[in-house]
Structure 1
Amino acid sequence: MGSIRSKIKSRVEKFIEVDSTGYRRAILCIFIKVKKATIDELHEMLGKKYNVSRNMVASMVGYIHSKLGILRSRKESYKTPMVYTLREEYLDLLMKVVNTAPKPSSDAVT
C-alpha cells in the first residue's frame, strides 16, 4: 500500500506544482474542509474568490478523480448530481502536500 500512497503523493505534488493561478490548491483545500461536494457546490465556493466557470471546476474535479485517485464519486439516482467525496485514507497525505507545496502568487482558499 505504501507504493500506491507514494505514487498518489507524487501525482498530487505535480498537480499543485503547475498551479499558477491557485485554483488547484484551492479546490484541494475545499475538499479537505468539506470532505464531499457536488460540482455546483464547489463552483459556488471557488467563485467567491476566483473567476472560474463551472466547466473549469468540473474539469479539475474530473482530473482529480480520475488521475489523482483521491476522490470517490457517487450518484444516488439519474436525477441527482454526482457527489465527490475525499477518500479518508488520503486526507493526511493531501494535507501534508497542500501545506508544504509552495503557494502561487495569489493566496488559496484555506
Structure 2
Amino acid sequence: MASIRSRIKERLNKFIELDVNGFRSYVLSVFLSVKKSTIDELHQAIAKKYDVSRSAVASMVGYIHSKLGILRSHKESYKTPIVYSLKEEYADLLKSELTSKGIISS
C-alpha cells in the first residue's frame, strides 16, 4: 500500500498537470509564500495577476483542502473567516513539485 505522502504527491502532480492557464499553480505558490491566509486575502493577491472572482478562488482553495490534503483550516469563532494554512509536512513536497515543473525557481 502506498504511503499517504506518495498518494498526495500523485494527486498534486495530476492537479498541476491539468493546469491550463497557470491559475492552479499560482494559488499553490501563493500558499508557499504566505503560509496562512483567508479567502479574501488570497483573492486580493491572486486578482493582481488573474481576472478571477472571489468564488473561483474559494472553490479552488476548497478543492485543494479537501482533495489534495495539503491545507489545514482553522476558524476562531463563528464570526471570523476560515484561515487556511499549508501543512508544514507538505511544504517541501509542494516546493519540489512546483520547482520541477518550472513554476517557481529554487
Shorter-normalised TM range: over 0.9
Q: CA deviation at 1:91?
A: 0.4
**Distance in 2 between residues matched to 1:51 and 1:27, nearest whole Å:** 13
Provide the secondary structure at the position in 2 that maps to 1:80: coil
Q: CA deviation at 1:3?
A: 1.1
Question: Please, which runs of 5 or more residues in structure 2 have no aligned partner?
Answer: none
**Distance in 1 between residues matched to 2:4 and 2:60, nearest whole Å:** 21
The answer on 1:61 being equivalent to 2:72 is: no
AA of the residue aligned to 1:17: E
**Distance in 1 between residues matched to 2:7 and 2:98, nearest whole Å:** 16
The answer on 1:16 being equivalent to 2:9 is: no
Q: 1:35 maps to what in 2?
A: 35
Aligned residues: 103
Q: CA deviation at 1:101?
A: 1.9
Q: CA deviation at 1:102?
A: 5.4
Q: 2:48 maps to what in 1?
A: 48
Provide the secondary structure at the position in 2 that maps to 1:84: strand
Provide the secondary structure at the position in 1 that maps to 2:28: helix
Q: Percent identity?
A: 62
AA of the residue aligned to 1:71: L
AA of the residue aligned to 2:61: V
Q: CA deviation at 1:27?
A: 0.5
Contact 1:13 / 1:101 at 8 angstroms: preserved in 2? no
AA of the residue aligned to 2:42: L
Provide the secondary structure at the position in 1 that maps to 2:3: helix
AA of the residue aligned to 1:38: T
**Distance in 2 between residues matched to 1:85 and 1:101, nearest whole Å:** 22
Moved over 2 A (4+): none
Q: CA deviation at 1:6?
A: 0.5
Post-superposition Cα deviations, 1:2-51, rounded to whole Å, max 9, x if no partner, equal 71111001101101100001110000000000100000000000000100
